[in-house]
Amino acid sequence: MYKWILLTCLVLSNLATAKDESLAKEFSDFSINNDITISYDDLDQLLKLTVVDTGRSDRKKASKSQALIGTKMRSSKKKNTKNEANRFFFEEVSKSEISEGFNKIRVSLESLPNEIALNNLSLNEQLAYWLNLYNTAVVEQLLKHYPVRDTEKLLFGKNSILEEKFLSVSGHALSLNDIQKIVFKKFTNKPIVMYGFYQGNIGSPNLRAEAYYGNKVFHQLEDNGDEFVNSNRGLYLGKKNKLYVSKYFEQTKPLFENFETDLHYHLEKYVDTGMRYDVKNAKSIRFKIEDWSITDIFGTERVIGGSSATNNAAMLNAVVSNSTYPKGADGSGSGVGAVNLNFISDSITNKTMDFGRFSADQIEKLKALKLKTESNSGTVNIKDLSTDKSEN
């Protein structure tokens, strides 16, 4: 009996090791300690300023009479989906200094493992980190190629921005697709992670008007998943009991053991109650839904109302206007826009400093961890720094 237990343990250990070896060692491990958290308030500021949360889909088709912005209107040809997904002020941001913020934040996030090894963070903190790096880099690339209306060629063409290895993390050259693969491998039992990858178009999961944070990342992903599934760009019921779903789901096969069967169950779980019976009893799944239209604020005919959208537009317009004003003797611009831009710039600058993404009470712990890591060739866990929970 003892030998059988020992053999079983060895087999399980070998399986776990094999799984870990599928990722670079810098990305494969994690800490069970949740004391270390990463700050993304600079990214928060940018996203709150540049993203419009349009709310949940009402599944209504768009009509030609909805156009309200005159000659600047560029609408999706997909009537079922053109009114869906959060929007980004691509046109305005591309004209302002704010566009530089996404590059600076991306570079800052790439350098974060110089301050603390990623495998010394909890799984939730790692997930938030990868999603924020991915989405920041996607926005940066889209701004770099703007104006663009249809993103399909940009994403999946010969010079795909998803395949280009322009990122560097822990000494590894990575593409956006590499980041997605890392996350999918680490969270194969949690398909909800798929809803954190914004790809710039209406047919992809939403870009949130906030950064992901380790302490609430799964709540944020649940919200994104619920919104996506319950929209026409996620799924809808076709004729003859067929279930039409987004082509985006074809990217998520590594998250499911039996892809179509498990995906069907997943969609049944997230779809609204009113459609659940029909989704459950659908005879087949067809990956037919796609909308590659960029989520530019002028790429839709949707009527976007409410104080949130108005405030975002007013603030951003002020920043864009002031970005072209002459600078004062102190190097600053003038007006509300300049104040907003300076605030964001200061926030980004602070994050590029050593340990800038960590609170003051965490810095000493990180410094000790860094010294310990340098003197130890093995993996150092944060939990080893102190056995007294009152000190954490």
∠ CA 322-328-330 to the nearest 5 degrees? 120
What is the DSSP secondary structure assignment for residue 81, as one 8-state letter? T
Counting DSSP H helices and E strands in the chain, the numbers are: 14, 7
Supply the DSSP string of 209-257, one letter for each residue: SS---TTTHHHHHHHHHHHHHTSTTTEEE-GGGEEEEEGGGGGGGGG-S
CA atoms of 294 and 55, how far apart (whole Å): 18
Give the per-residue pLDDT at 7: 39
Strand partners, 173: 168
391 pLDDT tier (thresholds 50, 70, 90) = very low
Reported as a single tens digit per residue, the pLDDT across 98-150 is 889 999 999 999 999 998 899 999 999 999 999 999 999 999 999 999 999 99
Neighbours of 129 (CB within 10 A): 23
329 pLDDT tier (thresholds 50, 70, 90) = very low
Give the per-residue pLDDT at 18: 33
| CA proximity to 244, closest of 208, 195, 291, 192 | 291
Q: Which of 158-167, 324-333, 361-370 has the highest mean pLDDT?
A: 158-167
Give the per-residue pLDDT at 374: 58
Who's near 158: CB < 8 A, 6+ residues apart?
Answer: none
Query: ω before 147 within 30° of 0 (cis)?
Result: yes
Task: Give 247 or 301, the one with higher predicted confidence.
Answer: 247
**What does pTM read for this prediction?**
0.79
Give the per-residue pLDDT at 257: 94
| CA proximity to 316, closest of 351, 344, 348, 350 | 344
Written as six digits, the tokens of 3 are 């030998």
CA atoms of 229 and 272, how far apart (whole Å): 9
The single-letter code of the amino acid at 375 is S
Who's near 123: CB < 8 A, 6+ residues apart?
Answer: 30, 186, 187
Taking the mean position of all CA atoms in its chain, how far away is CA 200? Answer: 11
Give the per-residue pLDDT at 355: 61
Who's near 208: CB < 8 A, 6+ residues apart?
Answer: 47, 51, 53, 86, 220, 224
Give the per-residue pLDDT at 262: 96
61 pLDDT tier (thresholds 50, 70, 90) = confident
Give the per-residue pLDDT at 392: 39
∠ CA 142-270-56 to the nearest 5 degrees? 55
The single-letter code of the amino acid at 221 is L
Q: Of 342-346, 353-357, 362-366, where does mean pLDDT reach its minimum? A: 342-346
Q: Which of 56-65, 270-279, 338-347 has the highest mean pLDDT?
A: 270-279
What is the DSSP secondary structure assignment for residue 378, as one 8-state letter? S
b/e per residue, 239-252, with b = 16+ CB within 10 A?
eeeebbbbbbbebb
Written as six digits, the tokens of 362 are 């965490």
Taking the mean position of all CA atoms in its chain, how far away is CA 109? Answer: 13
Give the per-residue pLDDT at 227: 97
92 pLDDT tier (thresholds 50, 70, 90) = confident
CA atoms of 283 and 242, how far apart (whole Å): 6
